[in-house]
Amino acid sequence: MFKDLLKKNKKRILIVLLPVYVVITIALVVLSIYRVISYSWINGFILTLIIGLITYCFLVYSTKKLLETQNPFLFSFFSILRIGLYMVPFIISVYLTEYISYFGVIIGFLISLLFPMILKN
């Protein structure tokens, strides 16, 4: 499923998303090297990007299953699961503030909002 999604939208990913992710990651790394921000910002950013990608895959999968089976309960289950997955980095950043910064999580979620907009069909 994920492989087909990337094959269809490879050009959009390379043109739009990849430069945005690379520029923000480089900016966070440079700021971390010069000790303007802590390394935990990068950890929060990367964790959020991974969770955002997983939740987008759940969104695509749940819409395909909704169209196939016409089962709204399965779609609502995946919607609740996605909301829970969005909360995981925030909860981790609250309890492990030295390793994952909530600022990095917020930056990652703002960038993850671009992902569905760019890859929509």
Q: Whole-model pTM?
A: 0.77
Task: Indicate the range of 4-8, 48-52, 95-99 predicted with least confidence.
Answer: 4-8
Burial classification of residue 23, based on how many CB atoms lie within 10 Å of its CB (0-12 exposed, 13-18 middle, 19 or more buried): exposed
Distance CA 116, CA 93 (A): 24
Judged against a pLDDT cut of 90, whether residue 95 lies above it is answered with yes
Residue of 42, 107, 115, 104 whose CA lies nearest to 82: 115
Q: Name the most confidently modeled range: 48-52, 68-72, 87-91.
A: 87-91
For the segment 60-71, the average pLDDT, to the nearest whole number, is 86
pLDDT (0 to 100) of residue 55:
84
* Rg of the chain in Å (alpha carbons): 16
Judged against a pLDDT cut of 80, whether residue 13 lies above it is answered with no
Neighbours of 115 (CB within 10 A): 20
